[in-house]
Amino acid sequence: MKSINMKTLWITADDALARLGTKPQTLYANVSRGRIRAKPDPTDPRRSLYHADDVQRLAERHSGRRHTAAVAAQAIRWGDPVLPTTISSIAGGRLLYRGRDAADLSGAAALEDIAILLWETPGVVVKAFGCVMTGRSRLAAALGDLAARVADDLPALGRNPAVLRTEAADVLSTVAAGLAPWPDPIPLHQRLALGWHRPDAAEPIRKSLVLAAEHELNVSAFAARVTASSGAALSAAALSGLATLTGPRHGGAWLSVTRLAGQAGSIGVREAIRAMLSSEGAVRAFGHQLYPHGDPRAKIILESFEIPALYGLLVKAGEDLLGEPPNIDFALAALAATFDLPQDAPLVIFALSRTVGWLAHAMEQVESGQLIRPRASYAGS
């Protein structure tokens, strides 16, 4: 049987420099800034290998004269930073919330504590709502409840920041009512664990909520900021973020992980990876563009419980065959599998957590007073 050829994913420094047409110092600078992923060469630990796709992307960006329109277009697609923010940053393989390491915060903080930090407010009270069975999924309930309040909520523009922060807590309460319904005002991670009848899952859920709360200018955060820049209500910004999160290339990426695990259980880990590479051209369970040496969020989550044997085999295969460690989508899917949580649990955890980040971005955008309105480059006849 023909083996999987993974060598094209990683190239030597000489090859990278030839494609980039730059000096070694520039290559190392791009690695340190997270623009090019690198890993030790298994045949010579003193040397490094560089991710071919990252190198090619930068080579194409810098080829020829960089017109303003070309720079702007590249910035939208995993390009250079385009919006100033004080909420979070990703640098040197670390995720920072207002300058504090999210990995350290996950040691003891709850999601409510992260809201206090990101919103820069003295306290956050998330109201409790009873478990009302409506026949809707949790995600559908959150989407419907947010949409119902959008028409009644006041526009965010021109209002006192302290008032907006109080309203943000109310919007988070609305989302929590759909995603984590519980009659008592206990921390959100406990509401989820008890609502799923898995109290032993509370601790890894807590860590997951903290680590997924914010991640710079991801597509759902950008959607929330665009909505907020129009002056719309905070609930509208959160609704935009939640709708964007449902996409298979964002919050829905965990489905790819469960499909991979299902195939691995049937045909074997190696063949499952081969099949996904053939059908999708990528295995989304592994690697992250912003973390050349591995997603630190996934590492912390996976260390908080004993993963099933099948998922352990997948972790090893991902590193051996793809040269990539698991990412947060893999970690959330493994969490759901370990504690036998509902099928949509990864998306529920992600959505509840990320609502805190969306609201932080919405309020920062409103306070900037700027409208996000890029120009289009017409490509028709």
Query: Is 5 a residue whose pLDDT tops 90?
Result: no
Residue 368 burial (10 A CB sphere; 0-12, 13-18, 19+): middle
Q: With both helix axes pointing from N to C terminus, report the angle between 234-245 and 161-179 in degrees, rounded to the nearest 10.
A: 40
CB proximity list for 16: less than 8 A, separation 6 or greater: 27, 36, 50, 55
Give the 3-state secondary structure of 135-187. CCCHHHHHHHHHHHHHCCCCCCCCCCHHHHHHHHHHHHHHHHHHHCCECCCCC
Measured CA to CA, the distance from residue 166 to residue 306 in angstroms comes to 39
Q: What is the pLDDT of residue 59?
A: 82
- Arithmetic mean of pLDDT, 40-47: 80
Model pLDDT for residues 269-324, shown as the tens digit of each residue:
999 999 999 888 888 889 998 898 899 999 999 999 999 999 999 999 999 988 89
Higher pLDDT, 35 or 138: 138
Query: Is 96 a residue whose pLDDT tops 60?
Result: yes
What is the band of 70 on the pLDDT scale with cuts at 50, 70, 90? low
Q: Is the domain defined by 82-381 classed in CATH 1.10.580.10?
A: yes
Can you give the pTM of this predicted structure? 0.82
What is the band of 170 on the pLDDT scale with cuts at 50, 70, 90? very high
Share of residues in the chain with pLDDT > 70 (%): 91
Higher pLDDT, 101 or 292: 101
Q: What is the pLDDT of residue 57?
A: 81
Q: What is the pLDDT of residue 45?
A: 75
Query: Is 201 a residue whose pLDDT tops 60?
Result: yes
Q: What is the pLDDT of residue 127?
A: 96
What is the band of 77 on the pLDDT scale with cuts at 50, 70, 90? low
Q: What is the pLDDT of residue 226?
A: 97
Higher pLDDT, 22 or 88: 88
Query: Is 71 a residue whose pLDDT tops 60?
Result: no
Helix (H, G, I), strand (E, B) or coil at 238: helix
Chosen CATH of 7-76 out of 3.40.50, 1.10.3470, 1.10.1660, 3.30.530? 1.10.1660
- Arithmetic mean of pLDDT, 220-233: 97
- Arithmetic mean of pLDDT, 140-151: 96
Q: With both helix axes pointing from N to C terminus, report the angle between 161-179 and 188-195 in degrees, rounded to the nearest 10.
A: 10
Model pLDDT for residues 344-364, shown as the tens digit of each residue:
999 999 999 999 999 999 999
Average pLDDT of the chain? 89
CB proximity list for 366: less than 8 A, separation 6 or greater: 156, 157, 164, 228, 229, 231
Domain boundaries, the chain: 7-76, 82-381
Of 360, 66, 327, the closest CA to residue 217 belongs to 360
